[in-house]
Amino acid sequence: MTATAGDDARDDLVDAREIARRLQLVSHRTVLDWRLHHAFPHPVTRRGAYLWRWSDVALWRATPGAAALLAHAQHAALRNPDDA
């Protein structure tokens, strides 16, 4: 089965839990915090949960600020493994 443009757009939408999984974060709450306090992409819609375009998150992930936040989140997870 081949993907259509509509399929690509639907598959590109991710919630905070999926972003956390793809970025290897301990908790989706980290994503929700970043949404409020850091230069994280804005959600594109809210359908029960906030949804982001993965392509926007992937572009953000390549920025120096994102690298620092990711390193901090991973370091915190190593210090506090019970917070998962």
What CATH number did the domain enclosing 22 receive?
A: 1.10.10
pLDDT band at 11 (very low <50, low <70, confident <90, very high): low
- Express each pLDDT in 57-66 by its tens digit: 999 999 988 9
With respect to residue 2, please indicate whether it lies within any of the assigned structural domains.
no
With respect to residue 4, please indicate whether it lies within any of the assigned structural domains.
no
Question: So what's the pLDDT on residue 43?
Answer: 96
Distance CA 19, CA 41 (A): 12
Q: Is pLDDT above 80 for 1? A: no
With respect to residue 5, please indicate whether it lies within any of the assigned structural domains.
no
Look up the domain containing 33 and give its range.
Answer: 10-83
C-beta of residue 65 within 8 angstroms of C-beta of residue 38: yes
Q: Find the Cα–Cα–Cα–Cα dihedral 36, 66, 39, 27, rounded to 10°.
A: -10
Query: Distances from the Cα of 76 to the Cαs of 30, 38, 50, 83, in angstroms?
Result: 11, 17, 24, 9
Coil, helix or strand at residue 53: strand
More confident residue, 82 or 37: 37
Name the domain count of the chain. 1
With respect to residue 3, please indicate whether it lies within any of the assigned structural domains.
no
